[in-house]
Structure 1
Amino acid sequence: MTGTKPTTRVTELPIRWLRDHMHEALTIYGLAMGYDAAVVAGRYGYAIQHTDRPGFRAVGAFEATPEGEQLVGFGYGYLVEPGQWWHDQVRAALDRRTAKKWLPGAFEVCELHVHPDHQSKGLGRRLLHALVADLPHPAALLSTPDADTKAFRLYHADGFIDLARGYHFPGDARPFAILGARLPLHPREPVPANS
């Protein structure tokens, strides 16, 4: 249908709003990642603490409904620094040269999740680009399950490269990939089907 507006909007989230709606956001996190309720509940305190980190930024995707708007996706991140759990895990996973090149001054895309009912509609890409738009940081880093998933393909298509593969974070049996992209993002051109 031409001329219609998308029913989902992506916008930056005030910290106060995200804190007040963290349970709602983490429900999406659990569904998107396939984690059970106990894992999601254990994440709440960490997620609230993340909102106090330097350079914190959050975005949300809202679906228009007859009752108003519903959160259907979110993302947040912050400046990665030594002493943070994720920084120190990633530092151990990378060789010295790669760590020195990528970690200083980088923005960690800590969470980026879309409710399963709203995936494959471009929301993940819209959230990612809104989250890292106009950041003063040289690079964005993230970790994602090391498997051929929609998220993994999205990150690679949008300019992220492999920094480490098959890394096991404590508390999760799945292998993860650690990816990095120079900012601003420069999505790769799609390869024509007949090439």
Structure 2
Amino acid sequence: MTVSIQRLSPAEFAMLAPTLVDIYMEAMGYAPSIRTGRIRVWKGEVRSPGFTALAAVDDGVIVGVAYGFIGTRERWWDRQLVRAMHELGGPTQRDREMLADYFEVAEIHVSPSYQGRGIGKRLLTELLRAAPTRWALLSTPEVAGEANNAFRLYRAFGFTDVARNFLYDGDSRPFAILALDLAGAQYGSAGAQ
């Protein structure tokens, strides 16, 4: 198996959105009822500043996706991030620095049958390599003891906690919000590559 990581133009990403959303839904266990709405949202993301998208491809079949963009004040997720910081008594000086200059890792997903093969690591490495900001931020569902591939991946890269057990509007699962200082990150080193 030779999985390649390919950069997607905004037009390619929009065209492939149904396939990419299907990977996301399978990996996250979301109900089919959200599919149409997610496809619409993902297609709209291509207009975000700094939009970058990647696909993991195995013999012509897309098996993984990662994308992100520069965080801005008018985005829903940024408002949720600020709300999480306020709930923790902030924002702190570090929080303000992050809010001023971060790349939102919007999604990174690998088809369940391909997980555990280093594909997520390769996608995240390339996505962060392209990030034009000081910080990278993301969120992931909470898991007892951080015992899943996602947490292992993010911790290997050096992501640290911003907020834990945060509840987004519209999702009953608690999430962790994590940050990586790209200025000091060693994600391209042996530990996280």
TM-score with structure 2 setting the length: 0.89
Where structure 1 has 5 or more consecutive residues not aligned to the other structure, the ranges are: 1-5, 191-195
**How many Å apart are 1:16 and its aligned residue?**
0.8
What is the RMSD of the two structures over their aligned residues, measured on CA atoms? 1.5
**Cα distance, 1:134–1:46 mapped onto 2, change above 3 Å:** closer
**How many Å apart are 1:136 and its aligned residue?**
2.1
Tell me the equivalent position of 2:162. Answer: 163
Tell me the equivalent position of 2:139. Answer: 143
Distance in 2 of aligned mates of 1:46 and 1:103? 22
Instruction: Give secondary structure in 2 for the equivalent of 1:86.
Output: helix
**How many Å apart are 1:169 and its aligned residue?**
0.4
TM-score with structure 1 setting the length: 0.88
Equivalent residue in structure 2 for 1:47, among 42, 46, 58:
42
Q: Deviations over 1:130-172 (max 9, x none)?
A: 1111432101000000112210111011110011000000111
Query: What aligned pairs does 1:85-100 form with structure 2 within 5 A after superposition?
Result: 85-94=76-85, 95-97=90-92, 98-100=94-96
Where structure 2 has 5 or more consecutive residues not aligned to the other structure, the ranges are: none
Tell me the equivalent position of 1:8. Answer: 3
Distance in 2 of aligned mates of 1:178 and 1:107? 13
Distance in 2 of aligned mates of 1:25 and 1:31? 10
Equivalent residue in structure 1 for 2:119, among 111, 119, 123:
123
Distance in 2 of aligned mates of 1:40 and 1:139? 30
Tell me the equivalent position of 1:132. Answer: 128
Tell me the equivalent position of 1:3. Answer: none
**How many Å apart are 1:189 and its aligned residue?**
7.7
Counterpart AA for 1:61: A
Identity across matched positions, percent:
36
- Mean CA deviation greater in 168-177 or 33-42: 33-42
Q: Deviations over 1:50-90 (max 9, x none)?
A: 110101000110001xxxx0000011000001010000001
